[in-house]
Amino acid sequence: MSTQQFDEMFDFVAVGSGGGSMCAALVLRKLGKSVLILEKTGLVGGTTARSGGVMWVPNNRFMEADGIEDSYEKAAQYLDATSGQPDDAPAASPERRAAYLQQSPKMVDFLVEQGIRLRRIPYYPDYYDHLPGGSVPGRTVTAELFNVKELPAEWQAKLRPSAIPFPAHLDELYWLPTLTRSMKGKLNLAKIMLRGLAAKLTGKELAPAGRALQGRMLQAVLKAGADIRVNAGVSALIMEDGAVKGVVTTKDGAPWRVGARLGVLINAGGFAQNQAMRAKFMPETSSEWTGVIEGDTGEMLQEMMNQGAAVAQMDETIGCQMALPPGRENKSGNGVTFGAFAGQMDIAKPHGIIVDQTGVRYMSEGSSYSEFCMTMRKRHKTVPAIPSYWIMDDQYMKTYMFCGTMPGKAKPQAWYESGWLTKADTLEELAGKTGINPATLKATVERFNEDARAGHDTQFGRGERAFDKWLGDAVAKGNPSLGAIEKGPFYAAKVVPGDVSTFGGVMTDVNARVLREDGSPIPGLYATGTSAASVFGRCAVGAGASIGPAFTWGYVAAQHAANAGNLAV
C-alpha cells in the first residue's frame, strides 16, 4: 500500500491524449476500473488527430473480409526483412515484433466491438512490398468519417483539428492532384464537395482521417465513463521504492497529486518540437521542419529517463521529405501543415530527381518518407546533402502540382528571390546558379535519362515496387515513376529531411512496461506511441507504422495493468 499522500486516486492514469491512452481507457473501463486521461494542451487527440489516421495492422479482419491474403507468418517474415537488427534497433526485438503481430489485429477487433467504425484503405502497398512477406494491397486500417456534432457539446471544440480541410478519405484525396488530367480526379473532387455540402445542409461537421479516428475514440471513452482533462500537463512521476505510484499535474494553477493504483501510461508523444533534444540526438535536423503539434516537447521522456528508463533509437524520426518554401516553416510551433511543402507524393513523380550539393544522385526518390530522410541524413555525414536539390524540368512543372500551386502556373517570385527555387534554361546554368558542379549534374541527369528512357533505374531501382508506382503518376501514359529531365527550363528546389514525429523513446517490453538499462521493468510504468522506441526499429514498414503501435501498446498495457499479464479482455 502506498504511503504517499494524494489529492485524488484513480485505478489508472494516462498521460497525453494520444490513441494509446484512449484504447487503454476503453479496456480498463470495460473491466470496471477508474481511468483519468491528462492532456497538457487545450485540445484532445494529439498529433494523431491531426494525422492521416491510418494504422498498419497485418492480418486484420477487414483484409479477411475482402479476401486479401495475409497471416501472422507472412507478416512476421516481412518484419524480419524490414525492422532492423536488435543491436541497432533494440525495441524491434523478435519478441516484441511477435507480440505486435498477435495483439494488433485483436486491438482492431476490440475497437470494432466498442462501436468504433473502421475500414480498410483499399490499396496502400507496404513500403517494401517487394521483400518477403510484403503486401501489395496493404494492411492499413482507418476510421470512417466522423460527425463531430455527435460529441457532447462541450467536447466538440476541444477535438484537435485535422491537417486535411475536406471531409474525405485518403484514398479519395489520392486522386485530387490528377484533377486536370483525369476523370477520376474530377469525380473524386465532386464527391467530396457534394459530401461537404450535404453535411453543411444537415448540420453535420464531418471530420476525416486522424480527427475522425480520435473523435470516435473520444466519443467511446466519454461514453465508457473515463475522466479526461485538458490543460492538465503532467510534470513528474510520483515514485515509491522504485515503483511509479502516480503523477503530478496541476489544478487551478497549483500542483495536484494523482495516485494510480494499477499503473501510469505515458502517451505524451516524442520530442519533435524540442530543439535542444534534437541538438543532442539528431543535430542535423530541425524543429522548423516538423509537422507535429505543439505539445510534442519531450518532457515526459526526460522524466522517464530521470527515473532510470532506458532509451533507444533516439536519433530516428518518421521522416517526411520537405521542399519547404521560405515562410512556411514551423516557426509558430504549430507544425508545418500539409500543402505548405512538396513531399513524397510530389518528389516521386516522373521528370525529377534528388541530388546532393555536389550534383550526385544518391537514392531512389520513390522510397518511403522515412527511408528518404534517413538516406539524406546519412549522406550528409560524408557529402553536403542537407539541403539536397530536387532537379525538375518543364514537363514536371507543367504536369504536377508544386507546393500547393497548380501545374503550369507561375511560381511566387519570392521563392526565386530567396534562392529556395532556382530556374534556368540549361542544366549548366542551373548548376552555376546553385553552386552544384555543372559537369557532375550533367552526367547525373544523362545517366538518369538513359535509365528513364529504358524504363529501368539501374542505380536505385526506382519504380520497381508497387509502392513506388503508387507514389508515381497515377494516370501516366508511360512509366509512372520515371521520366527524363530533358525539356527546359530546368528547376532546382531545396529539400530538407523534415519529419512527422520522432521515432525513438523509452524501451518497453512485450507488455508495454518501461524498462531500465538492466532490462528490468519499472513497476507501474507503461509507455506507448512516440514516447516509446518503435517496435519497427528504424523502419516505417507501411502506412500507419506509428499509430498502429500507439493504439496496440495502449491496449496491451491496460490489460497487463488490470489483469497482471492476462491478455483476455
Q: Give burial (CB, 10 Å; 0-12/13-18/19+) of 569.
A: middle
- Report the alpha-carbon angle 231-234-235, nearest 5: 125
Site string for ligand FAD, 135-174 (x = CB under 6 A): ----------------------------x-----------
- Our CB check for ligand FAD shows the closer of 163 and 445 to be 163
Q: How far is the CB of 282 from ligand FAD (least distance, A)?
A: 15
Judging by DSSP bridges, how do beta strands 35-38 and 55-56 pair with one another? unpaired
- Our CB check for ligand FAD shows the closer of 39 and 129 to be 39
Question: CB–CB of 13/197 below 8 Å?
Answer: no
Question: CB–CB of 553/541 below 8 Å?
Answer: no
Q: Which of 340, 344, 318 is nearest to 329 (CA)?
A: 340
| Alpha-carbon gap, residue 352 to 481, rounded angstroms | 10
Q: Does 18 bind ligand FAD (CB under 6 A)?
A: yes
Question: Scanning residues 325 to 384, which ones bind ligand FAD (CB under 6 A)?
Answer: 338
What end-to-end distance do the CA atoms of the chain give, in Å? 26
Q: Does 529 bind ligand FAD (CB under 6 A)?
A: yes
Q: Does 268 bind ligand FAD (CB under 6 A)?
A: yes
Q: How far is the CB of 295 from ligand FAD (least distance, A)?
A: 2
| Alpha-carbon gap, residue 218 to 228, rounded angstroms | 9
Q: Does 50 bind ligand FAD (CB under 6 A)?
A: yes
Q: Does 39 bind ligand FAD (CB under 6 A)?
A: yes
Q: Please choose, out of 381-389, 431-439, 509-517, 542-550, the segment that lies near ligand FAD by the rule CB under 6 A.
A: 542-550
Q: How far is the CB of 140 from ligand FAD (least distance, A)?
A: 8
Q: Please choose, out of 40-48, 148-156, 189-197, 412-420, the segment that lies near ligand FAD by the rule CB under 6 A.
A: 40-48
Q: How far is the CB of 420 from ligand FAD (least distance, A)?
A: 22
Residue with cell 499503473: 263
- Our CB check for ligand FAD shows the closer of 313 and 434 to be 313
Helix (H) or strand (E) holding 352: strand 352-355
Q: Does 237 bind ligand FAD (CB under 6 A)?
A: no
| Alpha-carbon gap, residue 358 to 254, rounded angstroms | 56
Alpha carbon 19 to its chain centroid, in Å, reads 13
Q: Does 8 bind ligand FAD (CB under 6 A)?
A: no
| Alpha-carbon gap, residue 382 to 374, rounded angstroms | 14
| Alpha-carbon gap, residue 420 to 110, rounded angstroms | 48
Q: Does 399 bind ligand FAD (CB under 6 A)?
A: no
- Our CB check for ligand FAD shows the closer of 15 and 314 to be 15
- Our CB check for ligand FAD shows the closer of 511 and 546 to be 546
| Alpha-carbon gap, residue 280 to 274, rounded angstroms | 10
| Positions in the binding site for ligand FAD (CB under 6 A) | 15-20, 38-41, 46-48, 50-54, 163, 233-234, 267-269, 291-293, 295-296, 299-300, 318, 338, 500-501, 529-530, 544-547, 550
